[in-house]
Structure 1
Amino acid sequence: MTAPAKVSINLGTHPDGSPVALDLEELLATRLLVQGNSGSGKSHLLRRLLEQSAPWVQQVVIDPEGDFVTLAERYGHVVVDTQRGEADLQRIAARVRQHRVSVVLNLEELDAEQQMRATAAFLGGLFDADRDFWYPLLLVVDEAQIFAPMAAGEVSDEARKVSLGAMTNLMSRGRKRGLAGVIATQRLAKLAKNVAAEASNFLMGRTFLDIDMARAADLLGLERRQAEMFRDLKSGRFVALGPALARRPLTVHIGPVETAPRSTSPKLMPLPQMGSAENAQELIFTPGANEDRLFAPRRPPPVASTADVLAQLARSVPSTQALETASDSAPQPASVPTPAPAPTLSPEQRQAAIDSALREILDQSDAGFRTIAVLYQDFLVRCRIRRITGEPLSLAAFRRRLAVAHAGIDLAEAEADDSPWGEVLTLAGALPEDMQGTFLTVARAAFDRRICPSDAEVAQAFGSRSPGRARRLLAYMEERQVIVCRLDGLGRRIIAIPGLAWETEPGDPNAPAAARTPEATSAD
């Protein structure tokens, strides 16, 4: 089946009864932001969009509440449960792109932080797919403020950074990879601005808070006095604007849907007639006949193994492949060749491949100034390129290996029973994780009897451009008794490692770094 020159879907109707169409190919190139308070019809809108576009384009739904799993029965979406490791989710996501299967990532069994980590891993697998599999894909993220929060909440900073980075990649760099982001949120004020700003199409529903109305008006190009209109919108009605929708703001009443969510809005019902207070007390204080069965401890539903899900993805074929490519894409092959199985590596070969990937990362000029989450994603991509089999390094293990490699320490030699580096690694473990690499760099300089690193060089090792921060780091390490600093008669600094006969040669603490950037600052 050959894709038509233009594919439009019927989103709903204008107040005058005329249909409102959404240009699907334009949407794939320009992305969409949906906003609406609870009860505004936001999920109904997403379901309408997914149902109408299902025959034309592959779909992935990030579903934090499990509302969209009902798409599986009618439209053939594969439901991916998330009670599995992040590495498994990345592999499943890669197969999703390879076989062009529509899926729903069901996150309802996870808490907020686990949802963020699972989504980041899955989006990373979609984003890092081979170029041969960059087919058009509509990626819908419900409750996007969970995965791209405006400010830190109760989750860890690490989980927030990984999730926010994945969402930013989706909205800012996903288009070239065929990923068309559709993000929906209840609160614009809670959604990271750099994620929301990448959308060019908007559907704004009912909202009551002034800050959300003001942001919605700004995105639509309306005056502040016109923002009051969002309070008056009825459920299921949205203001549409964007190249895929309309060149001027217009109101659209979202059309009906063919599937239903598992949860529905509560409806008022009359209370049962008790007869008397004694009858009511008897009902709640007297055990029932089937209570042992009804109130037995809940067991989570069985989760399909990763192998079973991958096999299901490989067997599944989308019902229609009408939209083969976006209008400006090159023709794609009719069939996708199955990649050859990854070669089996010996433990020594696997270790050498991991070390090579770490060295490549460290050889990049900006590696010291990138966050650990970004470096970890880069490392996972390089491992996939090298086809390194087995369970990948965890984030904590990667951080430790990167710190050791950055200091130029051979890990196998350091972990030997008679190696003095074992004591140094123990000292490093007493420091916060982000300081361990800096300490090992200083320890390596002391072991080699090199000139003492200057403040600028210590700051570089930490990933900063502030010598003032370097001085605070050294003072903190000295307080923790992992280093000893002293000055010679000429004011040059010497750093020694307590318990070992290691110390640096005297060095000027104010000397510039060997490769400092022009924008380096003097102190903070």
Structure 2
Amino acid sequence: MKVGIDMGQTSDGAAAKLDIEELLATRLLVQGNSGSGKSHLLRRLLEQSAPWVQQVVIDPEGDFVTLSDKFGHVVVEGERSEAELIGIATRIRQHRASCVLSLEGLDIDDQMRNAGIFLNALFDADREFWYPVLVVVDEAQLFAPSVGGDVSEEARKLSLGAMTNLMCRGRKRGLAGVIATQRLAKLAKNVAAEASNFLMGRTFLDIDMMRAADLLGMDRRTAEMFRDLKRGSFVALGPALSRRPLPVTIGTVETSARSTSPKLMPLPEAGRDLEDIIFTPDPEELLRPLPRRVTAAPRPATDILAELSKAPPPMPAVESRPAVTEMDEGEREAILDSLIAEILDNPQSAYRPDSELFQDFLVRCRIRRVPGVAPTLSAFRRKMAIARSGVDAGTAAGEGWAKALDLSRGVSEDLQGVFLLVAQAALRALPCPSDLMLARAYGTHSARRARRLLGYFEERGLIVVHADLAGRRIVAFPDLGTETAPGDANAGEDLRAAAE
């Protein structure tokens, strides 16, 4: 199906059409200095194509999250664990949901790492889910830099590899890359070279103007024109746009970014007591210790050489550390379980990332001098999932719980706590947990998201959800041969505590 979306107007007043089907096969590169209108262009492209194709937006500044209000994009906060990002990306492809991965607030290392994990998960989806997806990456020079900067080599390789897969090998998997960059010189050449469509905006540096002219097949003497382009004006070229360089003015958009360009505004009127306000300290300021910056006088070189020539002082005797107390495996596991229980006693622990809780757990292990190698992050998440289920000792010793643990391995790590919470309720014949309890076990405040988790389990054939004559929810486990008692999905209290 051929679909041409309206991007604005050409220089002669005609509609500037972009062929979405052709774009999916040939990819797009957008270039322009800050303030040239790149984000406006991407927003126009996303809004116009939203009814026709699934979209995934890698958004380093959180500007595109407003698409969710009008077009229903799912907003994925980037501050998540690797397992969570992989699970979400897999379900995004499976259910063909448009989403925005917001990386706002993360440092550049975490932005590159999490974007790389998310893109690789989209790329590695099962063949049956290779539906066409428009993958828009804003500020692509951050995720595919031409040279290494002040970031770790691990994060750079992960992000660059994911961007290379997207642009070089993504087409066969249904992924069509749309990348936008402030400077072509900062973007890795093997990523930029795979695009066949170009929209070049205002730029001032000679090296960027030359590269833009080369990509558009223009005479280098005409490259000066890129300095004169107005905000929102671009030169288009490519099979999805135009066979010859074509000036285009991008049209209006329906949504707006959360951040806006700075605007001049008058200063507030200065009152007569302004000087008193400025020069009179706040009482709290007097209680704060002032930072002291001591600048030592430079030492003469002769003193430094004389000190280096002295014999080193004898090393003090090292006191022997107390031997590590031997502990059997059962006692050690009991201590680890008690440490996890201490963490879960904090009501806010349900909404903190697992990686943060894991660091807290390791500190507690060192304080208690727990012998042996500390559990891995994966093992810690497993223990947390079991602890969050609230299973009692009697149920945990039964065969049904052992089978429930085996079944829980069929879902991702971030969902195991929710699955086991419902499973233990069924094994104990307790009322079905409410949406509030499911949301807490998943680490979210969204009851709607919690309800979707039960639907996901049902799609996997793990549970069957039905209701009694009063409309109360019941969850049955065919593999366990049991089901929960009827429970109110909208209840605000912990039903397990009420039952006990």
TM-score normalised by the shorter chain: which range applies?
0.5 to 0.7
| 214, 238, 241: which one aligns with 1:218 | 214
| 238, 245, 250: which one aligns with 1:242 | 238
* Residues 281/200 of structure 1: CA separation in 2 closer, same or farther (3 Å cut): farther
Structure 1 position 284, deviation (Å): 7.0
Matches within 5 A, 1:162-177: 162-177=158-173
Structure 1 position 159, deviation (Å): 1.1
CA contact (8 A) 2:81 2:353 kept: no
1:94: which partner in 2?
90
Residue type matched to 2:98 in 1?
Answer: S
Alignment of 1:230 with 2:230, yes or no, is: no
C-alpha offsets along residues 165-206 of structure 1, whole Å, 9 cap, x if unaligned? 000000000000000000000011000000000000000000
Aligned-residue CA RMSD (Å): 2.6
Matches within 5 A, 1:212-361: 212-276=208-272, 278-282=273-277, 285=280, 287=282, 307=415, 312=449, 315=452, 338-339=459-460
- Mapped partners of 1:240, 1:303: distance in 2: 46
- Mapped partners of 1:178, 1:83: distance in 2: 26
* Residues 130/249 of structure 1: CA separation in 2 closer, same or farther (3 Å cut): same
The SS at the match of 2:64 is: coil
Structure 1 position 247, deviation (Å): 0.2
CA contact (8 A) 1:60 1:138 kept: yes
2:5: which partner in 1?
9
- Mapped partners of 1:140, 1:282: distance in 2: 49
CA contact (8 A) 1:7 1:25 kept: yes
CA contact (8 A) 1:41 1:236 kept: yes
| 181, 206, 209: which one aligns with 2:205 | 209
The SS at the match of 2:110 is: helix
Alignment of 1:50 with 2:46, yes or no, is: yes
Alignment of 1:69 with 2:65, yes or no, is: yes
Structure 1 position 15, deviation (Å): 2.1
1:129: which partner in 2?
125
Matches within 5 A, 1:434-445: none
Q: Give the alignment's TM-score, normalised by structure 1.
A: 0.55
CA contact (8 A) 2:27 2:176 kept: yes
2:23: which partner in 1?
27
Structure 1 position 119, deviation (Å): 0.6
- Mapped partners of 1:39, 1:250: distance in 2: 21
2:37: which partner in 1?
41
Residue type matched to 2:189 in 1?
Answer: K
The SS at the match of 1:247 is: strand
CA contact (8 A) 1:93 1:126 kept: yes
- Mapped partners of 2:75, 2:352: distance in 1: 11
* Residues 74/304 of structure 1: CA separation in 2 closer, same or farther (3 Å cut): farther
Structure 1 position 303, deviation (Å): 7.2
- Mapped partners of 2:265, 2:283: distance in 1: 24
* Residues 267/244 of structure 1: CA separation in 2 closer, same or farther (3 Å cut): same
1:111: which partner in 2?
107
* Residues 187/208 of structure 1: CA separation in 2 closer, same or farther (3 Å cut): same
- Mapped partners of 1:95, 1:315: distance in 2: 12
CA contact (8 A) 1:99 1:313 kept: no
* Residues 303/226 of structure 1: CA separation in 2 closer, same or farther (3 Å cut): farther
- Mapped partners of 2:240, 2:122: distance in 1: 24
Residue type matched to 1:213 in 2?
Answer: M
- Mapped partners of 1:129, 1:36: distance in 2: 33
* Residues 34/303 of structure 1: CA separation in 2 closer, same or farther (3 Å cut): farther
* Residues 285/66 of structure 1: CA separation in 2 closer, same or farther (3 Å cut): farther
Structure 1 position 287, deviation (Å): 4.6
CA contact (8 A) 2:80 2:353 kept: no
Q: How many corresponding residue pairs? A: 306
Q: Give the alignment's TM-score, normalised by structure 2.
A: 0.58
**Structure 2 residues without counterparts, runs of 5 or longer:** 285-347, 355-413, 416-441, 463-500
Residue type matched to 1:282 in 2?
Answer: I
2:398: which partner in 1?
none
* Residues 285/203 of structure 1: CA separation in 2 closer, same or farther (3 Å cut): farther
Alignment of 1:80 with 2:44, yes or no, is: no
Structure 1 position 314, deviation (Å): 9.4
- Mapped partners of 1:214, 1:110: distance in 2: 34
Structure 1 position 270, deviation (Å): 1.3
C-alpha offsets along residues 132-161 of structure 1, whole Å, 9 cap, x if unaligned? 000000000000000000000010111111
Structure 1 position 275, deviation (Å): 4.3
Structure 1 position 279, deviation (Å): 1.9
2:397: which partner in 1?
none
